[in-house]
Amino acid sequence: MIPLKKALNSSIGRKFVMSISGIALVLFVIVHLLGNLTLYVPDGGEAFNIYASKFELLGPFLYVIEMGLLAVIALHIIWGVTTTVRNKRARGSNYDAGVVTKGGPSNLNPASRNMIITGSILGIFLVVHVWHFRIQKLFMDATMIIDGKEHTDLYSLVSASFQNPLWVAFYVIAMLFLGFHLRHGFWSAFQSLGAMKPQWSKGIYALGLAIAVVLAVGFLGIPVYLYIIGG
Please tell me the predicted confidence (pLDDT) of residue 95.
42
Q: How far apart are the first and last CA of the chain?
A: 63
Q: Most confidently modeled of 28-42, 103-117, 183-197? A: 28-42
Question: Would you kindly state where each structural domain of the chain is located, as residue ranges?
Answer: 19-230
Q: 127: exposed, middle or buried (C-beta count within 10 Å: 0-12, 13-18, 19+)?
A: exposed
SS3 146: strand
Please tell me the predicted confidence (pLDDT) of residue 188.
80
Please tell me the predicted confidence (pLDDT) of residue 178.
94
Q: Which of 41-45, 95-99, 159-163 has the lowest mean pLDDT?
A: 95-99
Answer whether residue 20 shows pLDDT above 50: yes
The torsion angle over the Cα atoms of residues 34, 39, 43 and 49, rounded to 10 degrees, is 80
Own/partner long-range contacts of 23-31 (Cβ < 8 Å, ≥24 apart): 23/186, 23/189, 24/72, 25/72, 25/73, 25/76, 26/182, 26/185, 26/186, 26/211, 28/69, 29/178, 29/215, 30/211, 30/215
For residue 211, name the pLDDT band (cuts at 50, 70, 90).
Answer: very high
For residue 102, name the pLDDT band (cuts at 50, 70, 90).
Answer: very low
Q: What does the alpha-carbon distance between residue 125 and residue 108 come to, in Å, rounded to a whole number? A: 25
Answer whether residue 158 shows pLDDT above 90: yes
Q: pLDDT: is 219 or 195 the higher one?
A: 219
CATH 1.20.1300: does it fit domain 19-230?
Answer: yes
For residue 195, name the pLDDT band (cuts at 50, 70, 90).
Answer: low
Answer whether residue 16 shows pLDDT above 60: yes
Q: CA nearest 66: which of 74, 210, 124?
A: 74
> Quick one: average pLDDT of 70-78?
86
Answer whether residue 169 shows pLDDT above 90: yes
